[in-house]
Structure 1
Amino acid sequence: MRTPHHTVTHPRPSPLEDRDDQEDEPWEPPNHRRGGPRRRRRGRFTGLPVAVKAMAGFAVLGAFLVLGDRWAVLYAEHRAAQALRDRLDLAAAPEVEIGGFPFLTQLAGERLESVRVTVPDVAADRVSLAKVSATAHDIRLDTDGLTTLRGARVPRLDGDVLLSFADLSRELGASQVTFTGQGRDRIRARGTLPVAGHDLRLRAEARIQRQGERGIATEIGGMRLDIGGLATYRPGTRASEGLHLTPGAAADLARETRRAKALLSVPAIAHRMGVSDSALRAALSDDSRLTELTGSPGFARQAVRLDLIDLAVGHPEVLRRLGLDPALLDGLSRLTRPVLADRLTLAFDLPRPKQGDVRLRDVRVEKDGIRVRLTGAGLAVGGS
C-alpha cells in the first residue's frame, strides 16, 4: 500500500513585499570591470615576460656600471695629470687619456691598454716645443690594490713633437725674423736684423737634420744681409763672401764720374780692379778717358768683386763717398758667419730615461712647423 507523498508549498511573496525588500537595500552604481570590485589592480609591467624584465634590469645595472667606470677613468686621468705637472714643473696640467674599456677591469688586472699624454709648451734648449704627445701601449702596473700605484712599465711608446714656426720666429728671430717651411727638410728665414743702427734685410736657409739618435740640429746656409740696393753682405772668408756692391750699384758707379774718381783715386783699389798705372793717370786727368774706362764691360764686373769691408780698414772716406756708413761696416765685420748662424740655430736633444730607450724615428718640415716623431721601449715609471 503506497504512502501518500505530501508536497509542501511555500507561499511566494507578493510583488509588493518584494518591492519593499528591494527598497530597504542601498543603491550602488553598476561595476563594469572584470572580476568585480574586489579584484586588485595589476601593474603596467605585470604582463611582461620574465626574460624581458631581466634584460631591462641588466641594462639599468650596466648603465650604472658604465657610469661608475667612466667616473673612475676621469678621476685617474685627473690624478695622473696633476702628478705629471708637479714632476715636470709645468705651468699647466697636461692632457691624459686612458684607453680601453672597462677601466676598472684593467686596473684590477694591473694592465692598461694605452695611455696618451699631451703636454703643451715644453722648454727645450733655446726654443719651446709647441706640443709633445706620447702614447704608451700595454702598460704593466705595479699596484697595491685599487688605490695605490707604485710604478709602471711601458714596453712600447710612440711620440710626436712639434716645433711651431710661430715659436721659432718669436724666440729665435726676436719678432723680426719669420721662419717658414721650404721642402721636406728645409726652412727659410726672412726678416730684418739691426746692425749699428741700420735695419738690414736678412735672408737665410736652414737645413734640419738628425743629430745622432736623440737630437736634431740645423745647418745654416745662404745667409745674406742686404743694405738697401747698394750692397750685400755674406758672412764668410770665401771670395764670394764678404760685403760687395750689388750689380745695380756697380752699374750706377760706372755712370757717375764723381764716385768712379773717388774709387780709382786709391791706387791699391785701382790695381785690385786690374787698372794699369798709365790707364789710371789718363782716366783721372781726362773725363772722356774715365768714361771709356768705366764703360768697359769689365769695370762693373770688377767693382762687384771688391770686398768693401777690406776697403773700409784703410780707406773709410772712399766708402762714405759710395754712400756706406763706416760704423755699419765695422758692425758687419764683427757679425761673422758663426755669430750670425748662432742667432738662427735651433737644436734639442731628447731626455735620456733612467731605464729604457727613447730615440728619434723621423724629422720633417710641415706647414705649421717642424715635426719630430719618436719611439721608446722598455721604459719604467716610479718604483717599478
Structure 2
Amino acid sequence: MPLTAKLLVGVVVCALVLTLADRCAVLYAEREAAERLRADLDLAAAPEVEIHGFPFLTQVAQQRVDRVDVTVPDVAADRVSLARVHATAEDIELSGDSPAAIDGALVGALRGDVLLSFDDLGRELGASQVRYRKLDDTAVRADGTVPVAGQMLRVRADARLQRDGGRGVSTRISNMLLDVPEVASYRPGPGAGLRLHRPAAERIVRDAAKARALLSVPAIADRIGVPQRRIDQALRSDARLTELVGSPRFVQLLMGVNLVDVVRDHPWLLEKLGLDPKLLTALTALRLPELSERLALSFHLPEQARDVRLRDVAVRADGIHARLTGNGLPFGAARER
C-alpha cells in the first residue's frame, strides 16, 4: 500500500477513535450531570440532559460549554407537579478539568418553559371528578362534581391567574356555583344565593299545595313582586291560584328569588321545594376560602431553583404555560462557593 494511503487510513482511524472517545465522554458527562441535577433539585427521577458542541473534550479543557438542553418531567411545585420543564442553558463555566472531575457549573443564561397540564390537575388536587379547561388567556374554568352531605353536586368556578413574586402563580377563584341537578343552584360567599332551576319552579306551580305553601311566606311574596291582595285571593281560590302561577312570567320571577334566608327562617319549606334540609345546612356551612383552596391551581417553583424566575404566564388548550429565565445560576460545587 502506498505511503500516502497508509497515512490517510491512519488519520481516519485516529479521527474515529478520537470521535468515539469524545462521544463517550459526552455520554458520561450527560449521565453525571443528570444525577447531579436530580440531587440538587430533589427530583424523583433524573432529567434528560443533552450537551451540544463538538468536540466536547476541547470544551472541557477550556472549562466552558456552549449549550446544554435539560428536560425534567414531573417537578414538584407546591400543591401540584409541573408536567414538563424544558430549559436551555448557555455559556456554562465548568468546575473541574476532566469529565470525571466535573463537580459543578455556573450557567451564564438559562431560558426555558414549563407546563402545568390540565390532564394532571384533577389527580394532583385530590378532586378527580373536577376537570379544568381554558376559559381565556389568563383564566381557567373548573367544572365537575364534589360530594356535599352525601350527594354529588356539580361545581363550576373560574380561576384567574396572577404572578406571585416572580417565582410562582396564584389564582383568584370567582363565579363559583354549586348545582343540585334540576332543583337549585347555590352560590357561596358574600351575598350567598340559592335559586330554583326551571324544572323545580315548574313542579311547584303545577302542585297547588306547594304553590300555596310558597305564597304563604311573606318574604317570597314580597320578592316576587305580586301585590298582597292577589296573594290573598290565590290562597283562598284555586282558580285565582291557577291564574297567578300559571303564567310563564311567574316561573321566571320564582327562579329569580334568592331563597337562602327564606328557607333558613322557614325550614319546613325545603321539603315543599324538593330540597333535603341536610343538604342546605351543609351548603350554607361551606366557606368560600375552603372551597377555593380545593380548586386553586397555585404553584411555586421549588426552593432549590431559587435563582430561576417565571415569565409570560398564559393559559393554553393543554394547560398553563410559563417561560423560565435565569442568569448566573450555580449548580453543584459552584453553589457552595
Please say whether Structure 1 and Structure 2 have the same fold, judged by a TM-score greater than 0.5: yes
Q: Is the 8 A contact 2:50 2:69 kept in 1?
A: yes
CA distance in 2, matches of 1:314, 1:214: 48
Cα deviations by residue, 1:88-124 (Å, 9 ceiling, x for unpaired): 3332222121111111110011001112222221211
Q: 1:354 to 1:193 in 2, by over 3 A?
A: closer
TM-score with structure 2 setting the length? 0.90
Matching residue of 1:266: 217
Alignment of 1:118-267 (within 5 A): 118-144=71-97, 147-172=100-125, 174-238=127-191, 241-267=192-218
Question: Which has the higher mean CA deviation after the structures are superposed, 361-370 or 188-197?
Answer: 361-370
The question of 1:292 aligning with 2:243 is answered: yes
Q: Is the 8 A contact 2:204 2:210 kept in 1?
A: yes
CA distance in 2, matches of 1:169, 1:198: 19
Q: Is the 8 A contact 2:28 2:99 kept in 1?
A: no
Q: Is the 8 A contact 1:130 1:167 kept in 2?
A: yes
Of residues 107, 110, 120, the one that matches 2:60 is 107
Q: Give the aligned residue type for 2:294.
A: R
Distance apart, 1:182 and its partner CA: 3.5
Q: Give the aligned residue type for 1:303.
A: L
Matching residue of 1:10: none
Distance apart, 1:297 and its partner CA: 5.8
**Identical-residue share of aligned pairs (%):** 54
CA distance in 1, matches of 2:129, 2:20: 53
Q: 1:323 to 1:113 in 2, by over 3 A?
A: same
Q: 1:83 to 1:339 in 2, by over 3 A?
A: same
Matching residue of 1:373: 323
Matching residue of 2:25: 72
CA distance in 1, matches of 2:298, 2:305: 22
Matching residue of 1:349: 300
Which structure has more RCO (C-alpha within 8 Å, separation ≥ 6)? 2
Q: Is the 8 A contact 2:200 2:273 kept in 1?
A: no
TM-score with structure 1 setting the length? 0.80
More helix by share: 2
The question of 1:283 aligning with 2:234 is answered: yes
Say which one has the larger Rg.
1
Matching residue of 2:277: 326
Question: Which has the higher mean CA deviation after the structures are superposed, 316-325 or 344-353?
Answer: 344-353
Give structure 1 stretches of 5+ with no counterpart: 1-45
Q: Is the 8 A contact 1:144 1:150 kept in 2?
A: no
SS of the aligned residue for 2:44 comes to coil
SS of the aligned residue for 1:91 comes to coil
SS of the aligned residue for 2:317 comes to coil
Q: 1:161 to 1:287 in 2, by over 3 A?
A: same
Q: Is the 8 A contact 1:352 1:358 kept in 2?
A: no
The alignment covers a number of residue pairs equal to 334
Q: Give the aligned residue type for 2:166.
A: E
Q: Is the 8 A contact 1:220 1:345 kept in 2?
A: yes
Q: Give the aligned residue type for 2:291.
A: L
CA distance in 2, matches of 1:51, 1:370: 62
Q: Give the aligned residue type for 1:374.
A: L
Q: Give the aligned residue type for 2:220.
A: I
Q: Give the aligned residue type for 2:188.
A: P
SS of the aligned residue for 2:127 comes to coil
Matching residue of 2:311: 361
Q: Is the 8 A contact 1:111 1:138 kept in 2?
A: yes
